[in-house]
Structure 1
Amino acid sequence: MDIQSVKVAYFSPTGTSKTVAQAVAQGIGLNNVEQIDITQPGARKQPLKVASNDLLVAAVPVYAGRVPGLLMGWLQSIEADNSPCVCIAVYGNREFDDALLELKETLEKQGCKAVAGAGYIGEHSFSAEDTPIAVSRPDEDDLKHAQAFGAKIKEKLDSLASADRIPALEVPGNHPYKEMVGGISADFIEVSEACTQCGICEDLCPTNAIDYENDVMVDVDSCIRCCACIKGCPENARSMKASKVKEIAKWLADNCKEPKQPVNFL
C-alpha cells in the first residue's frame, strides 16, 4: 500500500497513551506524521478526516475496561475513506477488557480498516507513592516493543496492494461490552496549603473540571478521575483523600503487582 502520511491521534491526560502512540509511529518510519492530541475539550470539537492513503494510529487509555465515554462523540465524527488504522489500548496493568475491541469496531464504523491492534501498559492514573501501580510504564522496553510493532505494521502494509486486501483483524473482547462503571464519586481530591493557584492543574484537566478562579474547587460531575491534576502539580499540593477511589487504588496496588507485557495483534 502506498501510505503517504501517518495521523497519530491520542487522548492522554497523563502522557502514557501519547508516548506509546508516538513510539509506534516512530517504528513505522514515515516522515509525514501529524500529531492529533484530543486530550483538551477544544481539540475534541475538531472533526478528523482520514484519506485512503493515510494511516491512522489511535491510542486511548482504558477506563474500567472500556474506551472513555467522553471520547465517543469525537471518534464517531471521524470521516475515513477505507483508511488503514492501528488501534491501541493503554491500561494500568489490570486488563484492557473490551476497550480494544470497542475502539476497533468504532473506527471501522467510521470507514477505517483495522490493520493492527495492541494493548500496552501505562502507569495507572491512581498510582501514587503509597499505591504504586505500573510505575513508570511505559518503560524503555515497552517503547522498544512499540517501535518494533510499528516496523511490523509497515511491513504488513507494504505487502498489501490495497486496503481491500487487509484481512479481518481479530482482537480480544466481548459483546456486549463490559458495563460502564457508575456510582463512584469523583470527590476524591484534597488540596494542601502548598497550592499556589498557579493554574497548571486547570490547563491539564481534560474536562475543564477545575475552577479557573480557585484551583481547590473541582466540579465532581465533570471530573473523570484521570488524576492529571495530581500528577502534574509542581508543588505536590494535590493528592487522594480517603474515598472510594482511594480504596480502588489500594486494591489495584495490592492485586496488580505482577508486571504485564504488551500484546500485539497483526
Structure 2
Amino acid sequence: MLFTKAEEIFNCLQGNGTPFIGVISFGNAYYGVALTEMQERAASQGFQVAALGAFISRHTMTTDLGAGRPDAKDEAIMMDFGRKAYAKILSGDYDLHKQPKTNWSSSEEANKIIAFRETNKDPYCFPKEFRAKKISDDCIKCKTCVRNCPVDAIDIETRTFDLDRCIGCYGCINRCPKHAISQDSPEVKEFMKGFVEHFIKERLEPEIFL
C-alpha cells in the first residue's frame, strides 16, 4: 500500500508521456497493491509506465524481518533490473509487457487488509494505535528524527508526536542514534511478535515487471 503522501507527490507531477520506472521496498512480508496502485497513479498523471520493481529491505517496524537485506543477491537483481529498464526505454519501448499483480500474503489476516485495499483506493494511513510512539530520557535532542520526519510530526521540545500528521513510516524509530523512540502500544507490540513469527520462516525474493 502506498502511504498518504503518495497522493500529494503524484498530484504535483505531470508526465506528458515521460517513461516511468517505479520501485517499492517491502520487509520480507508482502507489498499488497503497492505496485498496481503506483502504476495507476503514474498513468493517471500522464506517465508511460515502463518498468516496476518490488525489492526487499529491512522491515520498517522490526529489525528481525528482512535483516541484512538488500544483500549481494538482491543488489545483483537490482542492477540487472536497472540495466534492462534503461535499455528498454532507450529502444523506445515504453510499454509494460509484464503487468504487476497484487502480492498476496501467506497470512490470512494480512490478506483481509490487502483485499480491502484492492477496492478502496483512498489515501492509506496506519491506524493511530500503530502510529503511537514515545521518546525516552535517552533522547539528546539531536533532532535526527525531526529532520527525517517526512510530515513534520515531531515536537522534540515536548517529546510529542502529532498522530494526525504521522504516517507511521517508523523513520524516527529507525534513525534515532540513541534508540530513544519506541512504539507506545502494547497491542501493536503483541501483534508484531506474531507478525515476525509468521514471516521470518522464509526468504522472499524481489519481483520485477518489464
Say whether the fold is shared (TM-score over 0.5): yes
* Distance apart, 1:76 and its partner CA: 2.2
* Structure-2 residue corresponding to 1:76: 11
Identify the match of residue 85 of structure 1 among 17, 20, 41: 20
* Structure-1 residue corresponding to 2:179: 236
Report the aligned-residue RMSD.
2.3
Q: Residue 226 of structure 1 aligns to a residue in which SS?
A: coil
* Structure-2 residue corresponding to 1:113: 48
* Distance apart, 1:148 and its partner CA: 0.8
* Structure-2 residue corresponding to 1:98: 33
TM-score normalised by L of structure 1 = 0.66
- Is structure 2 residue 84 aligned with structure 1 residue 158? no
Q: Residue 90 of structure 1 aligns to a residue in which SS?
A: strand
* Distance apart, 1:147 and its partner CA: 0.7
Q: Residue 141 of structure 2 aligns to a residue in which SS?
A: coil
* Distance apart, 1:99 and its partner CA: 0.8
Give the Cα–Cα distance (whole angstroms) in 1 for the partners of residues 78 and 177 of structure 2. 30
Q: Which structure is richer in relative contact order (CA contacts within 8 A, separation 6 or more)? A: 2
More helix per residue: 2
Q: Residue 129 of structure 2 aligns to a residue in which SS?
A: coil
* Distance apart, 1:155 and its partner CA: 2.3
* Structure-1 residue corresponding to 2:61: 126
Contact 1:98–1:177 (CA<8 Å) still a contact in 2? no
Question: Taking structure 1 as reference, are residues 171 and 121 closer, same or farther at Cα in structure 2, changes over 3 Å only?
Answer: same
Question: Taking structure 1 as reference, are residues 237 and 167 closer, same or farther at Cα in structure 2, changes over 3 Å only?
Answer: closer
Q: 5+ residue gaps in structure 2?
A: 103-114
- Is structure 2 residue 194 aligned with structure 1 residue 251? yes
Identify the match of residue 203 of structure 1 among 147, 163, 167: 147
Q: Residue 118 of structure 1 aligns to a residue in which SS?
A: strand
- Is structure 2 residue 91 aligned with structure 1 residue 148? no
Give the Cα–Cα distance (whole angstroms) in 1 for the partners of residues 22 and 96 of structure 2. 15
Q: 5+ residue gaps in structure 1?
A: 1-65
* Structure-2 residue corresponding to 1:170: 99
Question: Taking structure 1 as reference, are residues 187 and 207 closer, same or farther at Cα in structure 2, changes over 3 Å only?
Answer: same
Q: Residue 114 of structure 1 aligns to a residue in which SS?
A: strand
More strand per residue: 1
Contact 1:83–1:111 (CA<8 Å) still a contact in 2? yes
Give the Cα–Cα distance (whole angstroms) in 2 for the partners of residues 187 and 67 of structure 1. 16
Give the Cα–Cα distance (whole angstroms) in 2 for the partners of residues 178 and 247 of structure 1. 28
Contact 2:125–2:168 (CA<8 Å) still a contact in 1? no
